[in-house]
Amino acid sequence: MPRALIVHGGAGDIDAERRPRCLAGCQRAAQAGWAVLARGGAALDAVEAAVAVLEDDPEFNAGHGAALNRNGEIEVDAAVMDGALRVGAVGAAPWLRHPVHVARRLLEEGRHALLVGAGALAFAAEHGLHPETPATLVTERARQRLAQELARQAAPAEVPTGDTVGACAVDDRGHVAAATSTGGLAAKRPGRVGDTPLVGAGTYADDRAGAASATGHGESILRVLMTRVAVERLAIGDPPEVAARHAVAELEGRVQGRGGIILVDLQGRVGQARNTPAMSYCAIVDGHLTAGD
Ligand code: GLY
């Protein structure tokens, strides 16, 4: 069976000087995920490994470097889903570096699909995953972004995007998985949960068709169930590139949303689309790497 993996580092307005670092970060993440697939590992392990690399990278809005809420705090969302429709997700979880690992533990436990806030932290602690501090998670870029967003909110011009990180993969047994992680929107209200941890909105996987991870304005993405729409298009035979463009058109046409999506199908084909100025991504298909923004 063909093996493939694609990751994204978030859709939005990426400054020209940041683009090389975002591309390099996506390549490191894709290589970490591919290493799992190449040794015969599961798609679920591959997407978790790839997203953990992106969460560690201060360039991206997830984990270290996550966007700050309007109180200057980090509250993260993340989800993992496999093609057997198993899911684990956390929302508005304070100060976690690797919410993707917490989401994975929840998936494995199999009792609940989504934990939020203090409950997510308590579950994480039971699994040895503890919150960090501003000193280890907050970046200067995140502080600047909060200040800019608070100023922008005083005179709103356009819908912001919640850039996010994510990965989708298909393994050599034909199983798919997706994982997505984000700090959400800068200057969001405390307690806000976006599309990322919601099944079918920011993250979706189905062994009958493929897997998808979305990025962009969460309040728009969740209204059109963007990843579910995209995977349904794979199910009726669309190639991933076509399904990705369809999902972005749905986002824009139905709710005037901004964002992007990555997809993988059962044949090991990948696709991506966005309606923002940029979205860094990297794909590895049968060992061949492609990247862009
Ligand atoms: N797409 C990430 C968010 O809006 O939270």
Distance 281 CA to ligand 1 centre (A): 17
How far apart (Å, rounded) are the C-alpha atoms in residues 63 and 97? 4
Q: pLDDT at residue 199 above 80?
A: yes
Which residue in the list 164, 180, 196, 203 is annotated as catalytic? Answer: 164
Distance 78 CA to ligand 1 centre (A): 10
What is the sign, positive or negative, of the torsion defined by CA atoms of 36, 1, 293, 13? negative
pLDDT, tens digit, 9 for 90 and up, residues 51-105:
999 999 999 999 999 999 999 999 999 999 999 999 999 999 999 999 999 999 9
Q: Rounded to two decimals, what is the model's pTM?
A: 0.94
Q: Given ligand 1 and candidates 55, 189, 196, which is best to mutate, with the most ligand atoms within 8 Å of its CB? A: 196
Six-digit token string for 255 = 């709710």
How far apart (Å, rounded) are the C-alpha atoms in residues 76 and 137? 11
**pLDDT the model gives residue 162:** 58
Question: What is the per-residue DSSP string for 227-268?
Answer: HHHHHHHHHTT--HHHHHHHHHHHHHHHH---EEEEEEETTS
What is the sign, positive or negative, of the torsion defined by CA atoms of 141, 80, 270, 206? negative
**Backbone angles phi and psi of 168, in degrees to 5:** -135, 145
Among residues 92, 235, 261, the alpha carbon closest in space to that of 178 is found at 261
Distance 10 CA to ligand 1 centre (A): 9
Task: Give me the mean pLDDT over the 178-205 stretch.
Answer: 97
Ligand 1 pocket residue status of 194, Cβ below 6 Å: yes
**pLDDT the model gives residue 148:** 86
Ligand 1 pocket residue status of 215, Cβ below 6 Å: yes
- Kindly state the percentage of the chain with pLDDT values over 90: 90
The residue whose C-alpha atom lies closest to atom 2 belonging to ligand 1 is 162
Q: Residue 286 corresponds to which amino acid?
A: D
